[in-house]
C-alpha cells in the first residue's frame, strides 16, 4: 500500500477506516499529521505546530464532519513542541474533541515543561499547548479514567493488553474501538522521549520520531533514554515482523514500507549501541554545535572548492592539448555541481539564520545532513583516485568528527598520539618526495592513450601546494610526545601551511620546544603575511579543536606571521 499525502485513502487491514496524511517538507518546526476517518470517530495523530497545518486539519475535519458528525480524538505520539503545539482547531459547533497522550507527556504539558517539550529549542519562545488531555495513556495511577464519555452518547474505553515479547520484556499496549470492528492500538515506545508512543491502525504503524531517535542532533534531547531506546528498537522490530503491518508512517518525511523501516531501525539500533554517554542537548550545547557547524562547513567548503578548482585546472590543460572530450569526462566524473549546490544551500541557510528566528538547532541538523551528503560524495572510489588523497581524507575526517560531535561522541582520546618532532619530520619528507617528479607512471602509460590521460590527470590533480616552499625545521632536543592524534596534527599542520602557501608565502620556519607542560610548535613565515588571511572561520575552528585537547593556537604578526600551537605534553598529563 502506498500512502499519498493530502488525499483520503482506505486503510488496508481495517473494515472501513480511511486516512488523510498531511506531510509537509520535513522540518523540525512542525511534524506530519495523520487524520483517520472511522465510523465512531475522527482521529488526529500529531496536529503539529504550524498555524497553516492547524487550519488545514480544521478544514479536513469540518468536511468529514459534514458527512457524518462524530467525536474527534487527538493523539500525540509524544509531547515535543513540533508535534503538540496545535494552534487551535476550529470545528463546527457541537463537535467534541478529546485529547490523548502518554501520562509523562500529559504531565509535561500541564507543567509547561520547556525542556521535556523541547520548547527551549525554538528562539521565538513558543507557547506550550494549553489544551486539556482527558485521555491519559498508560497511566500508572488507577485514578485515571479509562472510559471517555461523549455528549452524543458515544463512549471510548481504553483496553490494556500488554504483550510479552519473546525476550521476556513487556511491550505495553492499549487499544480502543473506533466502531464497526475497527480499532486503534497504542504501544508505549519510549527512548526518543519518555512519553513516546506508536499507534497502529490496520496495516499502518505510526512511529512518531522513533526513526530519528539515534540521529546526531536528536539523541540527547531532554527525555531521551538510551536503554529505553534499545529496548523499543527490539520491540518494534518484533512488531514489524507481524505480516499485517505493511507501511510505517514517521513523524517527519514520507511513509515507507514496513520492510524498509525495519532495515532503517536496525541500522539505528546499531548506531545507538555506542550512545551510552550522550550529553544533554541543551541550549548551550546547541549554540556551540551551531558555531561548530558554521566553522566546519566553511573549512570543508574551502577544501572542496580547491578540489573542484584543481579539476578545472586539469581540464583547462587537457583542452589546450586538444583533449576536450577527456576534459569533459573528467569533470563529469565528479559531480562538482552537486557538491556546490549542497554547500551553497548550507551557506544560505546559515546566512538566513542570522536574519531570522530560525532555531539554531535547524542549522545543526542541516549541518549534519550536508556533512553526510559530502561524506557520500567523497567516499566514491573514483574520487579517491582522482583527487589528492590526503585532501580527501582530511575533509572526510573533519566531516566524520562533526557528525560524531553532534551525536555526542568525541573520539579524541581514542586517537594514537605521537612524538611531534617525528611527525613534522615525516610531513616534510612527504612534501619533499612529492616535489621530486616521478615520471614512471607517465612513461608506463605512454602507449595507451586512455591510461596516459589518466596518469596525466592524476599528476595534475595531485599538485602539492607545499612543493615550492622552502622549509627550515629546528626540533626540540627533549621528548615531544603530545596529547594529540598523529593524523589530527598532520591535518592541522598541513592545512595551516598550505593556507600560508596559498597566500604567497615561500619560506616557512618550524621550531618545537617543550615548556610548562606543553609541546610548543612555532610556525612562521619569512614573508609579510596577515594571519587572518587564512580565514577567521578556520582559525576559530582550529582553536576550538585544539581547545578540546587542552591546547591552544596563538597568532602573532610582526610583519611576518607567527603561529604558536601549544599541545599538552603527555608526560605532564600522566602526572596530573
Partner 1 sequence: MKELEITLQHLESAVVLHAAGPVDSNTAEQLQEPLLRAAEGPTGAVELDLAEVSYMSSAGLRVLVLAAKALQKRGERLRLVNVPLPIYKILNLAGFTSFIDIKT
Which residues in this chain contact partner 1 in the complex, by CB under 8 A?
301-302, 304-306, 308-310, 312-313, 315-317, 319-320, 336-337, 339-341, 343-344, 347-348, 351-352, 460, 463, 465, 498-499, 501-504, 530, 533-535
> Is the CB of 48 or the CB of 499 nearer to partner 1?
499
Give least dist CB 330 to partner 1, A. 12
C-alpha cell at 296: 566546519
Distance CA(238)–CA(220), nearest Å, equals 25
441: left (phi over 0), alpha (psi -120 to 50) or beta: alpha
> Is the CB of 140 or the CB of 355 nearer to partner 1?
355
How many CA atoms does the CB half-sphere of 63 hold within 13 Å? Answer: 10
> Is the CB of 92 or the CB of 502 nearer to partner 1?
502
Give least dist CB 297 to partner 1, A. 12
Residue 383 sits at φ, ψ, to 5 deg, of: -70, -40
Give least dist CB 347 to partner 1, A. 7
Give least dist CB 454 to partner 1, A. 18
Cβ(221)–Cβ(209) below 8 Å: no
Among candidate residues 375, 380, 373, 353, the one with its CA nearest the CA of residue 364: 353
Cβ(22)–Cβ(249) below 8 Å: no
> Is the CB of 465 or the CB of 475 nearer to partner 1?
465
> Is the CB of 267 or the CB of 503 nearer to partner 1?
503
Q: Is the dihedral of CA 39, 148, 138, 130 positive or negative?
A: positive
> Is the CB of 433 or the CB of 530 nearer to partner 1?
530
Render the burial of 235-268: b for 16+ CB within 10 Å, e for the rest. Answer: bbeebbeeeebbbbbbbbbebbebeebbeebeeb
Question: Which residues pair with residue 419 across a beta bridge?
Answer: 481
Cβ neighbourhood burial of 517 (10 Å; 0-12, 13-18, 19+): middle
> Is the CB of 20 or the CB of 492 nearer to partner 1?
492
> Is the CB of 309 or the CB of 547 nearer to partner 1?
309
Give least dist CB 17 to partner 1, A. 45
Cβ neighbourhood burial of 216 (10 Å; 0-12, 13-18, 19+): buried
Among candidate residues 176, 4, 151, the one with its CA nearest the CA of residue 100: 176
Give least dist CB 529 to partner 1, A. 10
> Is the CB of 113 or the CB of 498 nearer to partner 1?
498
Cβ(72)–Cβ(90) below 8 Å: no
Cβ neighbourhood burial of 146 (10 Å; 0-12, 13-18, 19+): middle
> Is the CB of 283 or the CB of 352 nearer to partner 1?
352
> Is the CB of 136 or the CB of 343 nearer to partner 1?
343
Give least dist CB 343 to partner 1, A. 6
Give least dist CB 386 to partner 1, A. 14
> Is the CB of 422 or the CB of 506 nearer to partner 1?
506
Give least dist CB 502 to partner 1, A. 3
Polymer length of the chain: 576
C-alpha cell at 166: 519473546
Among candidate residues 121, 499, 544, 546, the one with its CA nearest the CA of residue 291: 544
Give least dist CB 533 to partner 1, A. 4
> Is the CB of 337 or the CB of 444 nearer to partner 1?
337
CB atoms within 10 A of CB 566: 21
Among candidate residues 367, 557, 570, the one with its CA nearest the CA of residue 485: 570
Give least dist CB 353 to partner 1, A. 11
> Is the CB of 302 or the CB of 386 nearer to partner 1?
302
Largest CA distance in the chain: 91
Give least dist CB 478 to partner 1, A. 35
Q: Is the dihedral of CA 500, 502, 504, 507 positive or negative?
A: positive
Element (H, E) at 139: none
Range list of β-strands (E), 150-305: 155-157, 159-160, 163-164, 170-171, 173-179, 182-188, 197-201, 204-208, 247-250, 256-257
Give least dist CB 287 to partner 1, A. 23
Q: Which residue has the cell 485529547?
A: 99
* Helix residue spans in 321-388 (DSSP H): 324-333, 336-354, 360-378, 381-386
> Is the CB of 171 or the CB of 500 nearer to partner 1?
500
Amino acid at each position: 500500500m502506498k500512502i499519498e499525502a493530502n488525499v483520503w485513502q482506505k486503510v488496508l487491514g481495517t473494515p472501513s477506516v480511511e486516512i488523510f496524511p498531511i506531510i509537509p517538507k520535513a522540518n523540525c518546526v512542525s511534524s506530519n499529521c495523520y487524520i483517520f476517518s472511522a465510523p465512531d470517530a475522527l482521529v488526529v495523530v500529531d496536529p503539529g505546530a504550524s498555524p497553516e497545518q492547524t487550519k488545514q486539519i480544521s478544514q479536513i475535519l469540518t468536511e468529514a464532519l459534514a458527512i457524518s458528525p462524530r467525536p474527534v480524538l487527538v493523539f500525540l505520539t509524544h509531547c515535543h513542541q513540533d508535534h503538540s503545539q496545535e494552534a487551535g482547531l476550529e470545528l463546527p459547533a457541537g463537535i467534541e474533541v478529546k485529547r490523548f497522550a502518554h501520562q509523562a507527556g500529559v504531565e509535561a504539558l500541564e507543567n509547561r515543561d520547556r525542556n521535556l517539550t523541547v520548547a527551549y529549542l525554538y528562539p521565538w519562545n513558543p507557547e506550550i499547548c494549553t489544551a486539556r488531555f482527558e485521555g491519559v495513556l498508560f497511566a500508572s495511577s488507577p485514578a485515571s479514567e479509562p472510559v471517555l464519555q461523549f455528549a452524543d452518547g458515544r463512549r471510548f474505553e481504553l483496553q490494556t493488553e500488554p504483550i510479552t515479547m519473546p525476550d521476556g520484556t513487556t511491550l505495553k499496549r492499549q487499544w480502543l474501538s473506533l466502531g464497526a470492528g475497527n480499532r486503534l492500538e497504542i504501544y508505549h515506545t519510549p527512548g526518543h522521549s519518555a512519553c513516546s508512543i506508536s499507534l497502529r491502525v490496520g496495516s499502518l504503524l505510526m512511529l512518531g520520531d522513533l526513526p530519528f531517535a539515534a540521529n546526531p542532533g536528536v539523541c540527547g534531547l531532554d527525555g531521551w533514554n538510551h536503554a529505553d531506546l534499545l529496548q523499543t528498537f527490539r520491540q518494534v522490530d518484533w512488531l514489524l515482523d507481524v505480516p499485517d503491518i505493511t507501511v510505517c508512517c514517521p513523524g517527519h518525511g514520507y511513509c515507507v514500507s514496513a520492510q524498509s523501516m525495519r532495515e532503517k531501525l536496525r541500522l539505528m539500533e546499531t548506531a545507538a549501541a555506542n550512545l551510552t554517554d550522550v550529553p544533554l542537548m541543551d541550549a548551550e550545547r546547541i549554540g556551540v554545535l551551531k558555531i561548530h557547524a558554521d566553522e566546519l562547513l566553511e573549512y570543508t567548503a574551502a577544501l572542496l572548492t580547491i578540489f573542484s578548482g584543481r579539476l578545472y585546472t586539469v581540464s583547462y590543460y587537457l583542452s589546450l592539448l586538444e583533449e576536450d572530450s577527456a576534459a569533459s569526462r573528467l569533470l563529469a566524473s565528479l559531480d562538482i555541481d552537486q557538491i556546490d549546490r549542497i554547500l551553497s544551500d548550507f551557506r544560505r541557510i546559515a546566512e538566513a539564520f542570522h536574519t531570522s528566528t530560525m532555531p539554531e538547532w535547524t542549522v545543526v541538523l542541516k549541518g549534519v545532513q550536508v556533512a553526510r551528503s559530502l561524506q557520500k560524495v567523497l567516499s566514491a572510489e573514483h574520487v579517491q583516485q582522482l583527487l589528492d588523497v590526503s585532501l580527501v581524507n582530511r575533509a572526510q575526517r573533519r566531516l566524520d568528527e562533526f557528525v560524531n560531535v553532534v551525536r555526542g561522541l568525541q573520539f579524541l582520546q581514542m586517537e594514537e598520539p605521537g612524538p611531534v618532532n617525528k611527525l613534522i619530520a615525516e610531513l616534510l619528507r612527504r612534501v619533499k618526495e612529492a616535489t621530486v617528479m616521478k615520471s614512471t607512471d607517465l612513461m608506463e602509460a605512454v602507449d595507451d592513450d586512455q591510461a596516459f590521460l589518466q596518469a596525466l590527470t592524476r599528476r595534475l590533480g595531485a599538485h602539492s601546494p607545499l612543493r615550492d616552499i622552502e622549509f627550515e625545521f629546528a626540533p626540540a632536543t627533549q621528548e615531544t610526545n603530545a596529547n594529540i592524534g598523529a593524523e589530527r596534527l598532520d591535518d592541522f599542520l598541513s592545512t595551516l601551511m598550505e593556507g600560508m602557501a596559498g597566500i604567497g608565502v615561500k619560506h616557512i620556519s618550524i621550531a618545537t620546544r617543550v615548556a610548562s607542560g606543553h609541546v610548543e610548535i612555532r610556525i612562521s613565515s619569512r614573508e609579510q603575511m596577515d594571519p587572518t588571511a587564512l580565514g577567521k572561520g578556520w582559525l576559530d575552528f582550529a582553536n576550538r579543536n585544539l581547545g578540546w585537547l587542552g591546547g591552544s593556537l596563538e597568532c602573532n604578526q610582526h610583519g611576518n606571521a607567527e603561529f604558536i600551537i601549544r599541545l599538552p605534553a603527555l608526560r605532564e598529563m600522566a602526572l596530573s
